[in-house]
Chains A and B, each alone.
Chain A
Amino acid sequence: MSNRLTAGSNAVIAEDYSTAPPASEWVNLFGDALFSYAMRYVRRESLAEDLVQDAFVSALQNLSKFEGRSAFKSWLTGILRHKILDYIRDSAREKTEPLSELGGREYDSLFDITEHYNAHGQIEQWDLNPEAAIEQRQFVTTLDSCLAKLNQTMRQVFLLREVEDLERGEICNITGLSPTNVGVVLHRTRLLLRECLEKNWFGKMKEAP
């Protein structure tokens, strides 16, 4: 009787993954989610696959450190996140892009010679009803595809700031950019994403009946 009770409650815990599911299930349960996460940072599939594999293997080696304080999926994502940050840190040493290549031309083209928006009169309020789940999902999906079109450094800096919630100083350490340049890149990226969302999300929503 008591045995059955224990088994039953364990099964419930396994379902919300506050205990780790067996490693043979990991790829099926979390493979796509981790792959999506990695693909946002590195657009190359083979690289994203390697990062996901490293994260899984390191999770298996460190399984004894999983304490069930967070959901298992969050714990896994945390490991992947470290792998991604390490990768960005290592690859930053190899490249030095001039600031002008980081969206400079596209950004400047948003403004006229007097530094007003070219589309000054047409900028409207965006109504996103926080209750409307579908609308929200469309917004986030469009943001995702807008991000995918950006230069890699711009995309990574934006994600480090807005998704990982890192401070400017930490972003400098990871990317090798100066504090000023992190500010410039963040700013250009936000404005270009705004433009992209206006065209591809707000504009289409307005057209729809």
Chain B
Amino acid sequence: MISCKRAAERLSQSLDEPLTFRGRVLLRLHLAICSACRMVEGHLRLLRFGARCLPDSENGATLPEDARKRIQDRLAPK
């Protein structure tokens, strides 16, 4: 039986590339008996969903005033 640490590595890997048959079986066997890792599997999916929402979230970073002026002058010289 693989450890949680190995299971976590395979969970993450499966988000980037298809696992080998052996890798998939070992992971499924572990998940079948380990509720913590089943939760983590869901968390990693949600993490991916959240990351895809990031570009639409401005999160309060605002372009500083002097940079605004500088760029404005480059774009539309008075």
Contact = CB atoms under 8 A, between A and B. Distances in A.
Interface in A26-74: 26-27, 31-37, 39-40, 45, 48-49, 52-53, 56-57, 60
Nearest to B58: A36
B74 A120 contact: no
A40 to B, nearest CB: 7
B75 A144 contact: no
Binding site secondary structure of chain A: helix
A183 B64 contact: no
Contact of B42 (A53, A57, A125): A125
Interface string B47-78: 11011111101111111100110111011100
B19 interface: no
Interface string A110-139: 010011110011011110100000001101
B4 A52 contact: no
Contacts of A136: 53
A53 B13 contact: no
A101 to B, nearest CB: 19
A24 B75 contact: yes
A162 B47 CA distance: 9
B71 A115 contact: no
A191 to B, nearest CB: 6
Contact of A144 (B6, B54, B76): B54
Nearest to A48: B61
Contacts of B44: 190, 194
A26 B36 CA distance: 48
B19 to A, nearest CB: 12
Contact of A194 (B6, B43, B61, B67): B43
Contact of A183 (B16, B63, B70): B16
Interface of A: 22-24, 26-27, 31-37, 39-40, 45, 48-49, 52-53, 56-57, 60, 77, 111, 114-117, 120-121, 123-126, 128, 136-137, 139-141, 143-144, 158-159, 161-163, 167-168, 183, 186-187, 190-191, 193-194, 197-198
Q: Give 9 closest A-B pairs by Cβ, nearest first.
A: A115-B3, A162-B51, A24-B76, A115-B5, A187-B12, A35-B63, A49-B67, A31-B63, A36-B61
